[in-house]
């Protein structure tokens, strides 16, 4: 993908990254190399169903926790934090 196509800049765990329009927050988090959440016994987890049913892809977006990142598209200036890390 050309850099020009990655026109949306957002923060994932405090680091800026750029993605193409239409990219889901779950995809951005995966590209950033972060698990989406820690399970109740502390295991790292990532997306499973990709369709908003399993709730494994829950992250905090702009301070709002428990957002299903596979159902939400990246937007300019969005700030995403995962696995209990503070939003930058």
Provide the binding-site residues for other proteins, judged by CB under 8 A: 1, 19-20, 22-24, 26-28, 30-31, 35-36, 39-41, 43-56, 58, 64, 66-68, 70-73
CB of 40 to other proteins, least distance (A): 5
- In the block, tokens 């026109």 appear at 7
CB of 14 to other proteins, least distance (A): 19
Q: What's the CA gap between 80 and 88, in Å, rounded?
A: 8
With b for 16 or more beta-carbon neighbours within 10 A and e for fewer, the 34-67 pattern comes to bbbbeeeeeeebebeeeeeeeebbbbbbeeeeeb
Cβ distance to other proteins smaller for residue 23 or 79: 23
Cβ distance to other proteins smaller for residue 46 or 79: 46
CB of 51 to other proteins, least distance (A): 5
A 10 A CB-CB count for 72 gives 17
Cβ distance to other proteins smaller for residue 13 or 58: 58
């Amino acid at each position: 993908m050309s850099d020009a196509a990655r026109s949306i800049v957002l923060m994932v765990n405090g680091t800026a990254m750029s993605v193409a329009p239409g990219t889901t927050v779950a995809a951005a988090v995966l590209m950033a190399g972060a698990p989406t959440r820690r399970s109740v016994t502390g295991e790292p987890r990532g997306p499973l169903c990709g369709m908003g049913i399993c709730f494994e892809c829950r992250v905090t977006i702009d301070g709002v926790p428990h957002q299903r990142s596979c159902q939400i598209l990246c937007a300019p200036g969005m700030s995403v934090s995962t696995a209990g890390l503070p939003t930058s």
